[in-house]
Amino acid sequence: MRRALCFESASVDLFRFFLSLAALLILSGACMAEATEENEPPLPLPVSINALMVALVDWSAHEIWDAGYADTLTDRDWLLVRQHAIKLASSGTLLSIGGTGKADKVWVTAPAWQEYTRELTKRALDALAAVEVEDQAALRKAGDGMLGTCLGCHDTFKPETPTEGIRHVPHYDYGESVIPEPE
C-alpha cells in the first residue's frame, strides 16, 4: 500500500514536471517570437549606389583587371587581388539593396538590376577561385567577364551623367577623369 502510494505520488510529480516543462517551452517560444518582432531590420546602405561605384566597385575592379594583365604577380599581389575580389563579391549584395541615391530605389526594383548584381558577385567569385590556385589566365577571364557585367548594367541603367559629382581621387588632379567635375 505504501509502495503504491509512493508510486502514485511519484507519477503525479512526474506529471507536474512535464506540465511545467511544457509551460516553460511555450513561454520561451513566446519570448523568442517577441524578441524576433522587436529585432531591428538589417542596416540599410547609408551611401548612394553612385558613391559605392566610385569608392569601391571601380577601384577593386581595376585591381583585378591590372593583375590579370600584369607581367608578373608576387605573393603580395595575389593577396591584394584576393581582397579586391572579396570586396567586389560583397558589392553585388550592397548594390542589390541600393542606398541613398535619387534613383536607387527604382533601380533595385528592376529584375534586370538584380540579375546584374548577382552576375557581378558571381564574376568576383570566379576571380576569387582563380586567386586560390594563382591562375592568372583564369583571373584575366573572370575580369573580362566582369567588364561585360559593368558595361551591360551601365548600358541599361546608368544615365548619361552621374547623379552626383563624386570623384575617384578627390585630392589629386589627374587630368582626364571618367567622372566629370561637379557642376
| CA 131 – CA 154 distance, rounded (Å) | 27
Exactly one of 67, 89, 120, 142 binds ligand HEC (CB under 6 A); that residue is: 120
Q: Which stretch binds ligand HEC (CB under 6 A): 3-11, 31-39, 71-79, 150-158?
A: 150-158
117 lies in the site for ligand HEC, by CB under 6 A? yes
- Under a CB-based contact definition with an 8 Å cutoff, are residues 120 and 85 in contact? no
Amino acid letter, 176: E
85 touching ligand HEC, by CB under 6 A: no
Q: Is 143 in the site for ligand HEC (CB under 6 A)?
A: no
Query: CB under 6 A: which stretch of 3-11, 26-34, 51-59, 131-139 binds ligand HEC?
Result: 51-59
Question: Is residue 53 involved in binding ligand HEC (CB under 6 A)?
Answer: yes
- Residue 129 in the binding site for ligand HEC (CB under 6 A): no
The H helix count followed by the E strand count for the chain is 7, 0
Which of 170, 168, 116 lies closest to 147, judged by CA?
116
Q: Is 173 exposed, middle or buried (0-12, 13-18, 19+ CB in 10 A)?
A: exposed
128 binds ligand HEC (CB under 6 A): no
**Exposure on the CB side of residue 50, measured as CA atoms within 13 A:** 18
Instruction: Return residues touching ligand HEC (CB under 6 A).
Output: 48-50, 53-54, 57-58, 61, 95, 101, 103, 107, 113, 116-117, 120, 146, 149-150, 153-154, 157-159, 162-163, 178-179
